Amino acid sequence: MPDVPAVVARPAYDRATIRPGIVHLGIGAFHRAHQAVVIDDRLAAGEVGWGIVGASLRAPDTYDALTPQGGLYTLAVRSAGPTRHRIIGSVSEVLVAPETPLKLLERLADPAIRIVSLTVTEKGYCHDPATGALAEDHPDIRHDLTSNLPRSAVGIIVEVLARRRAAGVAPFTVLSCDNLPANGETVKRVLARFAALRNADLGRWVGDNLACPSTMVDRIVPATTDADREEIARALGVEDAWPVVAEPFWQWVVEDHFPSGRPDLAASGVEMVGDVAPYELMKLRLLNGSHSTLAYLGYLCGYETVADAIADTGIAGTVRRLVGDATPTLRALTGFDVEAYKASLIQRFANPALRHRTWQIAMDGSQKLPQRLVATVRERLGKGMAAGAPALGIAAWMRYVTGIDEKGAAIDVRDPMAGRLADIAREAGPVAERLAPALLSLSEVFGELAADPRLVRPVTAALASLYAVGAKETARRFQAGELAL
Ligand code: CS2
């Protein structure tokens, strides 16, 4: 353990005693600032059988950074007050799936592994975002159906479940920690379908035996920058190749269904519940819905970070209206103060010490919009209400994915559907009446609402305004009640 100032919290346990009990797929900054911190607490409480083997499914960068540090890294918790630093020790090993695929399969097959958790982002589930069904023509799925060296999370998990079953080893619990609605059901649906495509009997076995509790995860964790690395090195007096930076707030709500055992998560502040759905809906529609709206409007206005965007009164007012419009679509939550959660959101977005880039959140919109904005519209329409604020968020996404900003400069649009989005934008041209219906016809994103005039009309009106007067003035008009959607 390097010599760091005494104020820096360190693992309060002997790391040599840790035994892995969890394999985490997708070991990015979010996992390291959220679930791994809870596990660090459990290890400190003496539950040494729950160390984490973290796997990257694509790039070796996390492996390269953390392996020379023995898996240790710093968590910097940033707010308006002084930054708090803590060294996390729960990651005992990092693997890179494409480089050592057999090693990963071997670790996953180990009976000591009782939980396989995932943060692979929305697109990592290889599903149709609107329906939640496995995308059977996805190139990774097609590859994995014919290979015993799978590359997708879905293919890897099913391969190992088959091996464990053949060896008479109980399955692990699969714990999705991604921002998807009913993430447990979603991962189970794609796993069972993939397994059935391999072999009908395996498909049934997965359906009958695999536990996939749903979870709601919440903590704002911007991508680490070189400036963060330098600042943390100065504070610690040692270099950390890949620290993570987060806000103080965190929440983790987990459905309590772990037939293969679990650490005592509740003892570290995790809420163990029977039904996560009301929490998920609240978080996806309030926080993530606001985030995506802030990202597209903010980026178009030229704001680099969420904190810059929320300082714009028009955008802040639009986010408040979005939260208000999403509220009637939420389900009742007993014992949780939704009003306090709502009130804290603007403050969290305004955190001056988190430099959360609008561009980062804008990524993968085609995968995020369905649960963040489209689902809110669907429920509002079902209740006889107008589409409301989400229509502006959707229109801002459309303006963004044209790939040209308000000054005529190129936007680096990152999205698995980027090619199709660009083709549609090129064909329609910068004409709201053509572009809005053309993008709305993407059924993967908008489902059955594609041609619904109750969505087409307000989205077209919002997009026309974005073209005519720009994002800043459109947000101002919307929050002032001068643009009805
Ligand atoms: C963000 C989320 O990048 C994004 O899409 O909306 O990562 C968000 O910061 C987290 O879900 C907060 O819990």
* 3-state secondary structure (DSSP) of residue 416: coil
Mean pLDDT over 236-262 rounds to 97
Distance CA 297, CA 475 (A): 8
Q: Residue 481: which residues within 8 A CB-CB, separation 6 or more?
A: none
Mean pLDDT over 303-325 rounds to 98
pLDDT for res 339 = 94
**For 6, phi and psi rounded to 5 degrees?**
-65, -25
Residue nearest to atom 4 of ligand 1 (CA): 361
Mean pLDDT over 356-375 rounds to 98
Query: Residues of the chain with pLDDT > 70: what percent?
Result: 100
> Which tokens sit at 274?
């029977």
* 3-state secondary structure (DSSP) of residue 245: strand
Alpha helices (H) in 210-270, listed in sequence order: 226-236
Query: Residues of the chain with pLDDT > 90: what percent?
Result: 97
- Ligand 1 atom with least separation from CA of 221: 9
The closest alpha carbon to 483, from 389, 362, 354, belongs to 389
pLDDT for res 347 = 96
Predicted TM-score (pTM) of the model is 0.97
Of 35, 250, 291, 356, the one to substitute when testing ligand 1's pocket (max ligand atoms within 8 A of C-beta) is: 291
- One-letter amino acid at 48 equals V
Distance CA 435, CA 264 (A): 51
The closest alpha carbon to 485, from 293, 229, 205, 235, belongs to 293
Of 176, 287, 373, the one to substitute when testing ligand 1's pocket (max ligand atoms within 8 A of C-beta) is: 287
Taking a C-beta distance cutoff of 8 angstroms, is the pair 111, 169 a contact? yes
If you ran DSSP here, which 8-state letter would residue 159 be given?
H
- Ligand 1 atom with least separation from CA of 356: 9
Query: Does residue 288 line the site of ligand 1, with CB under 6 A?
Result: yes
Mean pLDDT over 407-414 rounds to 98
Distance CA 435, CA 413 (A): 17
The closest alpha carbon to 76, from 184, 4, 3, belongs to 4
Q: pLDDT tens, 429-479?
A: 999 999 999 999 999 999 999 999 999 999 999 999 999 999 999 999 999
277 alpha-carbon distance from chain centroid: 16
Query: Does residue 220 line the site of ligand 1, with CB under 6 A?
Result: yes
The closest alpha carbon to 269, from 341, 218, 342, belongs to 218
pLDDT band at 1 (very low <50, low <70, confident <90, very high): low
Beta strand spans in 61-220 (E): 73-77, 84-88, 91-96, 115-118, 173-176, 215-218
pLDDT for res 3 = 79
* 3-state secondary structure (DSSP) of residue 405: coil
Of 31, 34, 123, 220, the one to substitute when testing ligand 1's pocket (max ligand atoms within 8 A of C-beta) is: 220
Distance CA 411, CA 404 (A): 5
Taking CA atoms, 28 is separated from 66, 101, 223, in Å, by 11, 18, 9
pLDDT band at 334 (very low <50, low <70, confident <90, very high): confident
> Which tokens sit at 242?
């890949």
Residue nearest to atom 7 of ligand 1 (CA): 220
pLDDT for res 335 = 86
Question: 52 alpha carbon to ligand 1 midpoint, in Å?
Answer: 23
pLDDT band at 43 (very low <50, low <70, confident <90, very high): very high
Q: pLDDT tens, 126-151?
A: 999 889 999 999 999 999 999 989 99
149 alpha-carbon distance from chain centroid: 26
Question: 255 alpha carbon to ligand 1 midpoint, in Å?
Answer: 21
The closest alpha carbon to 230, from 214, 215, 241, 246, belongs to 241
> Which tokens sit at 401?
């994915």
Q: pLDDT tens, 64-104?
A: 999 999 999 999 999 999 999 999 999 999 999 999 999 99
Query: Does residue 218 line the site of ligand 1, with CB under 6 A?
Result: yes
> Which tokens sit at 58?
């694509």
Exposed, middle or buried: residue 72 (CB in 10 Å: 0-12, 13-18, 19+)?
A: middle
- Ligand 1 atom with least separation from CA of 291: 6
Query: Does residue 369 line the site of ligand 1, with CB under 6 A?
Result: no
Q: Which residue(s) pair with 244 in the sheet?
A: 75
pLDDT for res 374 = 98
Q: pLDDT tens, 167-209?
A: 999 999 999 999 999 999 999 999 999 999 999 999 999 999 9
Residue nearest to atom 1 of ligand 1 (CA): 361
The closest alpha carbon to 212, from 253, 258, 178, belongs to 258
Query: Does residue 291 line the site of ligand 1, with CB under 6 A?
Result: yes
Average pLDDT, the chain: 97
pLDDT at 2 over 90: no
Residue nearest to atom 13 of ligand 1 (CA): 218
pLDDT for res 247 = 98
The closest alpha carbon to 430, from 403, 392, 458, 459, belongs to 403
Taking CA atoms, 46 is separated from 24, 50, 89, in Å, by 21, 10, 13
